[in-house]
C-alpha cells in the first residue's frame, strides 16, 4: 500500500530565509511601512542579506519608499523574481498591480496570493526577511502568521490612545499564534521642528512606553515625527540611506542593531 503523502502542518520555513520578522500595527497610517523600510535598509547597511515583503494589501507603499517600479518577472510562470534597491531584496503586492489601480483581490484569492508571494518568490539566501503586514488583525495577517514560521513581531504605534488600543489587539493576536513579540516602537513620538529643532509632542508622549511596560514587552525605540523622514521615504530612499548620521536615522539603526 502506498504511504500517504505527508503534508507538513503548521507554520513553515521559507526556503533560504533564516529569520522572518513581521512589522505590524493596530491601525493604518502610524508608520509601519516607514519602520519596515528603514529597518530593512539599516540591516542591509550592516552587511546583512535582507528581504522585504510588502504584504500591506490596502496600501502597498514599499515600491515608493524603496524607489522601485520594475515589474517582477517570472521566467517559468511559477517562481517570481524579486526586485532590488538599496541592497534590499523586495517584493510588493503593489508591484503586481498598477500603483493607481485598487487591488481587487478579495477573500481567499487575497490570502492565497499573499501566501504564494511569500513562498514562491525567489528570495535567495537571506539572513532576515522583514514582512510589512497590513494594519490590524485581519485575514491576511492571520493567515501569513499561520503559514510562515515568524521569528518575531514588532508593533508600531503612535502615542495616541486609539492607536494603542488597536496595537494591544495586534499583540494579542501574535500571543495567540505563538509568535514572540520583540517589542513596540513609538512612532511620531515628538515633532522636531526642522527650522529651530524645538520638540513638541503632537500625539502625546510616553503612551507606548507605559503600554509596553504594562504588557511586559520591550520599548525598542521612540521615533520623532520629522519632515526629513517623510521626504526621504517619498523620494524613494529611506532616511537611514539618505541621512545615515542624523539623529532621526539613529533611532532606526539602533533597533536594527539589536535585532
Annotated binding site for ATP: 26-33
Judged by beta carbon, residue 59 or residue 244, the one nearer ligand ADP is 59
Binding characters for ligand ADP, 172-211, by CB under 6 A (x = yes):
---------------xx-----------------------
Task: Identify the residue among 24, 25, 60, 211 touching ligand ADP (CB under 6 A).
Answer: 25
- The span from the CA of 240 to the CA of 40, in Å, is 10
The DSSP H or E segment spanning 116 is: helix 107-120
Judged by beta carbon, residue 27 or residue 48, the one nearer ligand ADP is 27
Which residues within the stretch 213-242 sit at the binding site for ligand ADP (CB under 6 A)?
Answer: 223, 225-226, 229-230, 233
Task: Tell whether residue 137 is a contact of ligand ADP (CB under 6 A).
Answer: no
Number of residues that bind ligand ADP (CB under 6 A): 18
Judged by beta carbon, residue 126 or residue 239, the one nearer ligand ADP is 239
Binding characters for ligand ADP, 57-96, by CB under 6 A (x = yes):
--x-x-----------------------------------
- The span from the CA of 24 to the CA of 10, in Å, is 21
- The span from the CA of 117 to the CA of 226, in Å, is 33
Give the nearest distance from C-beta 25 to ligand ADP in angstroms: 5
Contact 53, 93 (CB under 8 A): no
Judged by beta carbon, residue 31 or residue 183, the one nearer ligand ADP is 31
Query: What are the distances in angstroms from CA 188 to CA 29, 76, 155, 174, 251?
Result: 11, 44, 14, 24, 12
Listing DSSP states for 195-242 in one string gives TT--EE-TT-SSHHHHHHHHHT--EEEEEEE-HHHHHHHHTTS-HHHH
Residue partners of 227: CB distance under 8 A and separation at least 6:
194
Judged by beta carbon, residue 11 or residue 244, the one nearer ligand ADP is 244
Give the nearest distance from C-beta 248 to ligand ADP in angstroms: 7
Q: What is the DSSP letter of 8?
A: P
Contact 143, 10 (CB under 8 A): no
Give the nearest distance from C-beta 122 to ligand ADP in angstroms: 26
Contact 88, 94 (CB under 8 A): no
* Residues contributing to the site for ligand ADP (CB under 6 A): 25, 28-34, 59, 61, 187-188, 223, 225-226, 229-230, 233
Amino acid at each position: 500500500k502506498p504511504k500517504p503523502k505527508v503534508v507538513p502542518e503548521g507554520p513553515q520555513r521559507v526556503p533560504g530565509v533564516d529569520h522572518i520578522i513581521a512589522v505590524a500595527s493596530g491601525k493604518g497610517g502610524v508608520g509601519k511601512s516607514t519602520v519596515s523600510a528603514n529597518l530593512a535598509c539599516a540591516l542591509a547597511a550592516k552587511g546583512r542579506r535582507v528581504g522585504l515583503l510588502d504584504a500591506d494589501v490596502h496600501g502597498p507603499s514599499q515600491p515608493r519608499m524603496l524607489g522601485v517600479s520594475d515589474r517582477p518577472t517570472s521566467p517559468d510562470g511559477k517562481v517570481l523574481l524579486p526586485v532590488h534597491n538599496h541592497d534590499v531584496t523586495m517584493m510588493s503586492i503593489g508591484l503586481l498591480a498598477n500603483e493607481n489601480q485598487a487591488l481587487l483581490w478579495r477573500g481567499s484569492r487575497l490570502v492565497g496570493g499573499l501566501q504564494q508571494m511569500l513562498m514562491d518568490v525567489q528570495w535567495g539566501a537571506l539572513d532576515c526577511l522583514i514582512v510589512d503586514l497590513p494594519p490590524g488583525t485581519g485575514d491576511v495577517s492571520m493567515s501569513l502568521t499561520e503559514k510562515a514560521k515568524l521569528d518575531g513581531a514588532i508593533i508600531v504605534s503612535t502615542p495616541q490612545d486609539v492607536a494603542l488600543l488597536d496595537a494591544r489587539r495586534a499583540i494579542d493576536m501574535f500571543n495567540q499564534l505563538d509568535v514572540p513579540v520583540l517589542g513596540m516602537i513609538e512612532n511620531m513620538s515628538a515633532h522636531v521642528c526642522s527650522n529651530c529643532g524645538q520638540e513638541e509632542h503632537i500625539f502625546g508622549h510616553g503612551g507606548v512606553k507605559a503600554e509596553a511596560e504594562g504588557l511586559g514587552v520591550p520599548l525598542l525605540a521612540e521615533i520623532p515625527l520629522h519632515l526629513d523622514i517623510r521626504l526621504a521615504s517619498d523620494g524613494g530612499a529611506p532616511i537611514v540611506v539618505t541621512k545615515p548620521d542624523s539623529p532621526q536615522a539613529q533611532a532606526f539603526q539602533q533597533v536594527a542593531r539589536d535585532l
